[in-house]
Amino acid sequence: MQHRLQQPTRRTAFIADTTALILFFTTTGIINERLIAGMTWDQVLHARLLGAALMIPVARPYGLWRDWVMTRAGQGRVSRLLWDSIALVSFQVPIYAAIIAFSGASGEGLVRGTLGAAVMMLVLGRPYGAFLNGVRRLFGLPPGGEKPMSLNG
């Protein structure tokens, strides 16, 4: 019976992490691809569709990766910001570079887009971590890899 009770939790965690990743990074991806990488709207659409398809299998592994990385964070704001940023950049930038390359970015545009994504993810690491925890809360799940926190923590 205990095994059955664990399955909905895994499914719920998968759905929560996937929802958070798709909502947050579809928006930020459009901004980066159009304004920084200089991709056409057709290329942006292709990148976002491909990105959404790839986010489904990587959202939960990223959530688990972030939970593990965040166990290293201290209670302070700077420590949480640093570790959330490290988690996001180390996991997502290589995937993002492949997405925009496959979608038509090349040469200088690929480099600018990848560097833009890296900078954006450094800045967005903590906001995304807080957003992920908020979505998890909406699904009745605890935040992962850290003690319960507030957006101010």
CB 144 within 8 A of CB 67: yes
Looking at residue 56, its pLDDT comes to 92
Higher pLDDT, 89 or 7: 89
Rg of the chain over all Cα atoms, to the nearest angstrom: 16
CA-CA-CA-CA torsion for 60, 34, 134, 53, nearest 10 degrees? -30
CB 4 within 8 A of CB 78: no
The model's pLDDT over 30-64, given as tens digits with 9 standing for 90+, comes to: 988 888 778 899 999 998 998 888 889 999 999 99
pTM of the model: 0.74
Q: In this model, does residue 26 exceed pLDDT 50?
A: yes
The model's pLDDT over 62-86, given as tens digits with 9 standing for 90+, comes to: 999 999 999 998 888 899 899 999 9
Buried b (16+ CB within 10 A) or exposed e, 30-59: bebbeebbebeeebbebbbeebeebbeebb
